[in-house]
Chains A and B, each alone.
Chain A
């Protein structure tokens, strides 16, 4: 019998960036197969290609021996493949039952929604899952009123209601607590007994070893190894994720300049995605925020910038306690925030390069009148210090490449002469040369005494740049790495919750 899924030599390129150079994965019928790898290894891209939301450039995919060339999600769905969306696909204003059967409502002969059947089907589905959902999950309650973990359960039920033969669970347990995870696993085992195959992506290695039959590891866009869970252990898997080379590659270790007193002190910061985070940041220090994506790193940075204010906790700069309710509060205290999501968070689309650089300085300096000619020289210098290639300050920002645009947004903040720089995955989608320039710049700023909090989704960047790394897991700091402990192995291990 051919395997449930066989992907071979799958490639994908986004513009100049190769996301996948050789994706391979074989999933047997009734198998739970883990897909692991560091951030940016290509596992999500491979899953999206299988689910039909991303089109591949090359390679082959077979489902039950039949070739699959999806043109969109509908084709993959027709082949019995369902993707569990990490970004929720639920409609908050509809009820649990309506969401589960959205687009697949059972109908009566007259074409009305068959409420009794809908109710019965949903009940049957919920019954399988009652213990996980708990008594709080009522079929007629609105999704908007559910807690994040309940929403995740509804999302899972929605996938199951479509009776797929292969389910891709991308971080499906992220919002569940231990007890719910256990029930979730019980359900996975029941599905497995029915012959359903599953691809399981999780940042919790212990879960992987608990539930999965086999493990495929990806690195740098390539499938590098497949293990049978019973015949391997966590260390070997982590080694495979990190690679032989990186394992021995210790970053050129630099001590932060000896500082008198910490510049930024955060105590017990909590928020929607943040649990009791405390840290100290010294002048001239580059402090990395590590861990898998979405573990609270961005939430902390945005909280410190006043963009998504912290729910509780104290922040002090020097000896001064800060009230950070809106970005202007942070800007006036010399805190700058650079996001990697340029299009959404930074780009003033259609406006000139001058305006894009000048925006933050006007606020920082509480400027009223603007004489562009007098300011031009200053901003030209700010841009030049970053090796930015641009045609002229009056050209629109869209005329620059992604990397050069990001330099403009960095120049925007350098022009405000910040004392604390918050970097939120700032190198997303920019080319290698621009990255190298950027790292030189960050090192230079640190050498001049700027304090830098640096979150990157690429471990290599953190290891190459930081004096210290705090590893985040589930909104809290799970480990601190410094000195000789700053290794790829330790970082990956800590991110996956494996005590190094």
Chain B
């Protein structure tokens, strides 16, 4: 099987792609300036965090687990990053140190989740629900209220351009590259094997616990990426950041054709799923739906996506 076929495994992502194209078309009609550079860039800025979390969530779900703490990890990473930058001083070096601390926070959070689930054999759903509460408690502890700005060099870089292209586009491209690299590693096959048939993977001699932990670490790492992007957007610390992203990331993963039971799916599908969710938000906004209805419609679409995704996967 070729690499390309590996990437596009399964067919359900095709439906998602079609939905995305339709949404783009509708959005284009409602908002004629959609295809101008600035509007595209601002859209990408809005969508990027969910795209990144959804990629991370995919690896956990592929292994047959779930991570409900990604939203809280985002808040914690944001707060740690901002706190470290402010503590060290607001120079470029401080920013780099803060970003490193943020990434480490994401990885350690993932390790903690993975340890509890794969080694201690706690039930993944309730465990990550509980660790999520602990992570967000820690974020509130470090930074009780939103505030504490990041230095201009941080958000100017994030909203700026590199070689004529927006930095957000570079990040998006790098994320896709990372996904492409992972697709070609044996690790991804092993992840899917663990999710598809845990006993089969065990009988074959795969280190099941280690593989599941690696999935959680990836989720933590991608959540950290998402958090750093959100920080570039809001330019400040916010202990409540990313609260809705756990559920949205699961929806994006399901919309992208990854089975919640594990074993099949792809991170590229999740990227499409995340973009679809983002475009739905756009269309609702530009369709002139009253503000109050937006949460409801988005909630209904999320639920419908979950139900539909599961029904499609079962066929």
Contact = CB atoms under 8 A, between A and B. Distances in A.
Interface of A: 73-74, 77, 85, 88-95, 97-98, 102-103, 105, 107, 111-113, 115, 119, 139-140, 158
B186 A105 contact: yes
Contacts of A85: 203
A90 B185 CA distance: 20
A91 B205 contact: no
A12 B193 CA distance: 33
Contact of B203 (A89, A94, A95, A98): A89
Interface stretch (B1-9, B30-38, B126-134, B280-288): B1-9
Given A89-B204, A90-B197, A102-B189, 6 more contacts: A73-B205, A94-B193, A98-B193, A103-B204, A112-B184, A113-B186
Interface string B236-264: 00000000000000000000000100011
A112 B181 CA distance: 8
Nearest to B184: A112
Most chain A CB atoms below 10 A, which of B1, B6, B193? B1
B197 A91 contact: yes
Nearest to A74: B205
Contacts of A113: 184-186, 189
Interface string B156-198: 0000000000000000000000000100111001101101110
Given A73-B205, A89-B204, A93-B264, A107 B186 contact: yes
A73 B203 CA distance: 8
A92 B205 contact: no
A103 B203 CA distance: 11
B204 A102 contact: yes
B200 A88 contact: yes
A102 B5 contact: no
Nearest to B2: A115
Given A90-B200, A102-B189, A140 B205 contact: no
Contacts of B5: 140
A92 B263 contact: yes
B1 A140 contact: yes
B26 interface: no
A94 B186 CA distance: 12
Nearest to A107: B186
Nearest to B261: A93
Contacts of A102: 189-190, 193, 201, 204, 206
Closest 8 CB pairs of A and B: A93-B263, A93-B196, A140-B1, A91-B196, A112-B184, A89-B203, A93-B264, A105-B186
A412 B83 CA distance: 64
15 contacts: A73-B203, A89-B197, A89-B200, A91-B192, A91-B193, A91-B201, A94-B189, A94-B192, A98-B189, A103-B205, A105-B189, A111-B185, A113-B184, A115-B6, A140-B5
B1 A119 contact: yes
Given A94-B193, A102-B189, A115 B3 contact: yes
Contacts of A105: 186, 189
A119 B184 CA distance: 14
A408 B134 CA distance: 46
Nearest to B262: A93
Given A113-B184, A140-B5, A103 B190 contact: yes
A85 B264 CA distance: 23
Contacts of B259: 93
Contacts of B186: 105, 107, 113
A36 to B, nearest CB: 25
Nearest to B194: A91
Given A77-B205, A85-B203, A112-B185, A92 B197 contact: yes
B76 to A, nearest CB: 31
Nearest to B206: A103
A118 to B, nearest CB: 8
A318 to B, nearest CB: 39
Nearest to A98: B189
A45 B199 CA distance: 20
A154 to B, nearest CB: 12
Interface string B2-30: 11011000000000000000000000000
A140 B196 CA distance: 17
Nearest to A139: B1
Nearest to B203: A89
B1 A95 contact: yes
A54 to B, nearest CB: 14
